[in-house]
Structure 1
Amino acid sequence: MATSDRLLGYVESRKNLTGSVCGLAGVGIALTGAAGGLWPLVIAGLYAAGALIAPPERPDTPHFPDAGEQLDALRDDFATLRAYLAEVELPSSSRDRLTELDALVEALLEPGWVSDPEHLHVLARAVRQDVPEAVDTFVRTRWWSRVTPGTEPPERHLERQLSALREEMAAIAAALQEAEELRQQTHTRYLEERGH
């Protein structure tokens, strides 16, 4: 199978096509009688010369998802995360912090807001890694703290982690708000200057 794919690839290659065109020119020369008895060598030589001068094959440029495609995938992952979090038993204070974080992430994932790669990376890391790990670690640690009482309650760490994540998301929201305000001010200045 791999051999037939390679053979088919060569048949369609630039080198073969250019060599074939040059080989056909050799057939034309042979038909005129200019090549004499050496016509097979002329055809083969012209084919080889054409194959050698042909530009090399260029591999296709890889396709990487753009910001919109990345956001679509991230929204799907966020829906999966929400389904997971709905099943986890959390203390009310942690649940409140998680609800605030959830609302902020949901707003940031709305189409048309986040396009900066760094912001997108921070959002993806929060949805795909930070929040699931924080909650899972809490669930595991809480089980062990029941077995060995007297240690620091895992709720405190979870609340601190969720607060830190919310601050990170709030920083993205503030940057987006600042960019929109700057855009609005620039447009106002443009309209005012255009009128004069």
Structure 2
Amino acid sequence: MATSRTTGGPRGRTVLTYLESRKNLAGSACGVAGLALTLAGVAGAYWPLVVAGLYGAGALIAPPERTAPPPFDPREELGVLREDFGRLRGYVDGVELPPGPAEALAELLELYGALLEPGWVADVLAADPEAVHAVSRAVRQDVPESVDAYHRTRWWSRMAPGGESPERHLERQLGLLRDEAQRVTAGLHEVEARRQQTHTTYLEERGRS
């Protein structure tokens, strides 16, 4: 009949885990030192207490076991963000905007789309958590809020004319988002430029050697 190394079930696995833990290994090392003291005649008749005490002290001072954090693939986050970006495109395609804001929004979405397009550009983006956060915030929050607020405010402006036009606010918001997207793009470009410069320096130093 076949047997299993984990016959003890969860309790057996728990015992095995402790036997292999740092605490048990450190305690065992100190316990061995206690046995050495016993053989040297230092512990006397109280050697069991000495060995047990040293084992406990070793187990107490040993560093705790560390559970490694789960690995996260930033490309998976970009995959989800691409899906949200597709929904954003579908949303803005169904809204009516004045020519100026409509053109600005189209340019902004084109820039986001270029950054999120699968390939090496998206890989560079994925390596920069702050850049991913900026694009994610814009796609999931800022752009939808700007367009929705424009439509709501425009309705109220028709009911009670006066004040700064909703179109003007929308243009300003899209301009600020465009500036932010351009800063993100410039930052990613700088990363690639540094990478190129580093390789040039490496080749020059290799040539001199």
TM-score (norm 1): 0.69
Q: C-alpha separation between the residues in 2 aligned to 1:59 and 1:141?
A: 54
After superposition, what is the alpha-carbon deviation per residue over 1:44-74, rounded to whole angstroms, capped at 9, x for unaligned? xxxxxxxxxxxxxx99866464210111100
Counterpart CA distance in 1 for 2:147 and 2:173 is 9
Cα separation, 2, equivalents of 1:17 and 1:186: 49
Where does structure 2 lack aligned partners over 5 or more consecutive residues? 1-7, 18-64
Q: Select 1:135's aligned residue among 140, 147, 165.
A: 147
How many residue pairs end up in the alignment? 150
Distance in 2, matches of 1:141 and 1:65, equals 41
User: What is the alpha-carbon distance in structure 2 between the residues aligned to residue 170 and residue 90 of structure 1?
Assistant: 23
Match of 1:149 in 2: 161
Aligned residue in 1 for 2:54: none
1:134/1:161 contact within 8 Å kept: yes
Q: Which moved more, 1:127-136 or 1:149-158?
A: 149-158
Distance 2:145 2:192 in 1: 33
Q: Which amino acid aligns with 2:82?
A: R
1:117 alignment partner in structure 2: 129
Q: Identity across aligned pairs (percent)?
A: 53
Q: Answer yes or no: is the 8 Å Cα contact 1:77–1:127 preserved in 2.
A: yes
Q: Which residue is equivalent to 1:104?
A: 111
Task: Give the structure 2 partner of residue 93 of structure 1.
Answer: 100
Q: State the partner residue of 1:179.
A: 191
Distance 1:129 1:62 in 2: 29
Q: Deviations over 1:118-173 (max 9, x none)?
A: 11111110000000001000011111111111232101111111110111110010
Partner of 1:34: none
Q: Is the 8 A contact 1:11 1:17 kept in 2?
A: no
**1:15 aligns to what?**
14
Equivalent position SS for 2:123:
coil
Query: How big is the shift at 1:113?
Result: 2.4
Which sits farther off after the overlay, 101-110 or 78-87?
Answer: 101-110
TM-score (norm 2): 0.65
Post-superposition shift, 1:183? Answer: 1.0
**2:204 alignment counterpart:** 192
1:186–1:153: structure 2 CA closer, same or farther, 3 Å change rule? same
* Secondary structure in 2 matching 1:149: coil
- 1:15, CA displacement in angstroms? 3.3
Helix, strand or coil: the match of 2:97? Answer: coil
Work out the CA distance in 1 between the residues paired with 2:188 and 2:179. Answer: 14
Where do 4+ consecutive residues of structure 1 move more than 2 Å? 10-18, 58-66
Q: Which residue of 1 aligns with 2:56?
A: none
Structure 1 residues 128, 183: closer, same or farther in 2, change over 3 A? same
